[in-house]
Amino acid sequence: MLHLLPLRLATCQTGCVEPKAHRPSQVPIPVTELPEEQVPRPLATHLAARLRELRARRGFTQDHVAKRLGCHESAVSRWESGSRFPTGEDLVSLADLFEVSTDDLLGRVRQFASTGSALVDMRLLEKLAAADSTDEFDRLIASHEEQAVWLPVPDGAVLVPVAEAMRWTRKVADKHKASRYVDRLFRPRV
């Protein structure tokens, strides 16, 4: 499909930009788009399904998402249909809004951790910060005794779904069943 943009912009005396009427002598700027049926778009299809799932899970409307991102509702609709792909900035904003990573939005199962990063349980940390007394703080810590608020992420660490981590770990543990340290592979313990 070929769209023509006949509108040109002109600068007025005060420096503002005003639309200028199209004259036949001006050459229109062509904008081309391939029909979506001609282009296989597995990434856009995955993103569309993931956005619909996350929005529904949180009970947001497309209008709510659009207002939070500062875009038009039709943009959200196009992203969710897979006919358009969000800009990098919008992708980051969507990840922040839904509290997931951009890798998660794009369907990457393995998420490589950056050197020097830490895994932080923000919900627990926020509860601890909101504790009104030392007793309340201590009760929260006691109820999460097997859990750290943050863990340093070693170089080479990869975030994967729990089922995949358990499968990999079980395979290694089965190979070394006689080790007295094999139970240390499992956190949380099973």
Q: What does the pLDDT look like over 60-103, one tens digit per residue?
A: 999 999 999 999 999 999 999 999 999 999 999 999 999 999 99
- For residue 166, give its domain range: 112-185
Q: Which of 80, 108, 136 is the last residue of a domain?
A: 108
- For residue 161, the model assigns a pLDDT of 81
| Domain-embedded: residue 190 | no
What is the CB neighbour count within 10 angstroms for residue 92? Answer: 14
Give the residue-averaged pLDDT of 37-41: 57
| Domain-embedded: residue 90 | yes
The reply to whether 69 and 140 lie within a common domain is no
Which of 24-28, 33-37, 69-73, 168-172 has the highest average model confidence (pLDDT)?
69-73
pTM of the model: 0.57
Whole-number Å distance between alpha carbons of 161 and 101: 13
Tally of domains in the chain: 2
| Domain-embedded: residue 120 | yes
